[in-house]
Amino acid sequence: MDSMRIVEAQAEQTSSRILFLVMDGLGDLPRYGDGLTPLAAAKKPNLDRLAKDGCCGRFDPVGPGITPGSGPGHLGLFGYDPTEYEIGRGVLSAVGIDFPLQPGDVAARFNFCTLDSDGNVFDRRAGRISTEENRRLVARLREIPPPKGVQIFVETEAEHRGALILRGDKLGHRLGDTDPQHTGVPPLPVTALDAAAKPTAKVVAGFVAAAREALASEPSANGILLRGFDSLPKIPSLGERFRLRPVCIATYPMYRGLARLVGMDMPPPPQSLADFPAAVRANREGHDFFFVHVKYTDQAGEDGDFERKRTVVEAVDRLLPDLLGDGFEVVVVSADHSTPVALKTHSWHPVPALMWSPGRVFRDPVTSFSEVACIGGALGRSQLRFLMAQALAAAGKVAKYGA
């Protein structure tokens, strides 16, 4: 049996508090020359102190060699096996714009596209129209009357991207993409992939036809392409699994959405990094698990900007004393995936992690926090979900198994 089932069975609610500080895409590769990563190059006395007094290791968000999207990466961080819960692109799009998706809702991502006079796809992204233009077009689509018993939500994501959400009784989410992924061919018809989805396919097909009519006079964005139909997966909450009372301190909708999927409380987002400590303090009562998410490391990695990624780490480090001010029994600092500067995108490399918990964790010989230093850490290398197990244990939240 997966040992996380034992962690669940032995989980106990206690007053001890865990801070889970996640620097998105933190993991990186040593650069040529000095062999430093942005994390290794950063001046970060506070993080280094936590590493020195705590223990370190490296974790594979999903498994060796697997590059995770944000969904699987965060599921791993939260102690879930990301291979057990698929979060469809439509659901991620919806939660990523803070749309309050309900169980049974069917969500899809859509692109505005350009269709030629024969009805073939000419440009899958409609010339990457602006987000503002997107909003104008979405307003039109919202005027399409839904069929009886179904609510239709049309939401702008950014540029040419949007989310379509259907709400109603007995909707099916097993629908094929209409995006053919190629130009010069017509959009694919809406197809039900199982019997339960047949009525839903009809509703979507009606909407697509109506959208084409509504957009007929548009010069570029005269059609839509849909993909990633899905419903909310049935994910047991952190409360159900580990008896945690978790709260999310994150600015970006996508991560707030992922936190919502595992049942975190959701106070208003802090406006900037400087507001994080106050947000943590404001939610101190009634919570014992604090998910604090910093997006900027990932953005710098995606931009291939070593110096900026280093600077973000330093900014987080300066924040740390204030962030820890009120006392946590356990502090974890890690990432949902690596975004190496040299690759400018998510990668499969394990993420560095530190865990600090005075008197409770194995104080290993690691004296600073970096990808290289973590190789020698007591946490070793394992799947990311086991980091949560060890944080819960250090917090005294896992009772002895067996007599």
Q: Interface with a copy of itself includes 30 (CB under 8 A)?
A: yes
3-state SS, residue 163: strand
Q: Is 249 in the site for a copy of itself (CB under 8 A)?
A: no
Tell me the Cα Rg of the chain: 23
- CB atoms closer than 10 angstroms to residue 220: 19
What's the min distance (Å) between Cβ of 378 and a copy of itself? 6
Q: Are 379 and 353 in contact (CB under 8 A)?
A: yes
Q: How far is the CB of 363 from a copy of itself (least distance, A)?
A: 5
As given in the structure block, the two tokens for residue 295 are 């997006």
Is 201 or 395 the residue whose CB approaches a copy of itself more closely? 395
What is the smallest separation between the CB atom of 374 and a copy of itself, expressed in angstroms? 9
Of 3-11, 13-21, 119-127, 160-168, which part binds a copy of itself (CB under 8 A)? Answer: 3-11
Contact between 98 and a copy of itself by CB under 8 A: the answer reads no
Minimum CB distance to a copy of itself smaller for 4 or for 171: 4
What are the Cα distances from residue 293, in Å, to 74, 100, 262?
Answer: 10, 20, 15
Nearer to a copy of itself, 205 or 378 (CB): 378
> What residues numbered 339-398 form the site for a copy of itself, per CB under 8 A?
342-343, 346-350, 359-365, 371-372, 375-378, 380-383, 386, 388-393, 398
Q: Going by C-beta distance under 8 Å and a sequence separation of 6 or more, which residues neighbour residue 118?
A: 186
**Three-state DSSP state, 345:** coil
User: Which two tokens mark 349?
Assistant: 């490399």
* Nearest approach, Cβ of residue 372 and a copy of itself (Å): 6
Which of positions 59-78 make contact with a copy of itself (CB under 8 A)?
Answer: 60, 62-72
Q: Is 303 left (phi over 0), alpha (psi -120 to 50) or beta?
A: alpha
Are residues 310 and 36 in contact, defined by beta-carbon separation less than 8 angstroms? no
Q: Enter the tokens of residue 19.
A: 């801070």
Nearer to a copy of itself, 35 or 184 (CB): 35
Q: Which tokens go with 143? A: 């005027």
Closer Cβ to a copy of itself, 39 or 137, answer by number: 39
Site for a copy of itself in 163-222 (CB under 8 A): none
Binding a copy of itself (rule: CB under 8 A), the pick from 13, 45, 86, 128 is: 86
Cβ 73 to a copy of itself shortest distance, Å: 8
Quick one: which of 105, 110, 233, 226 has its CA closest to 172?
Answer: 105
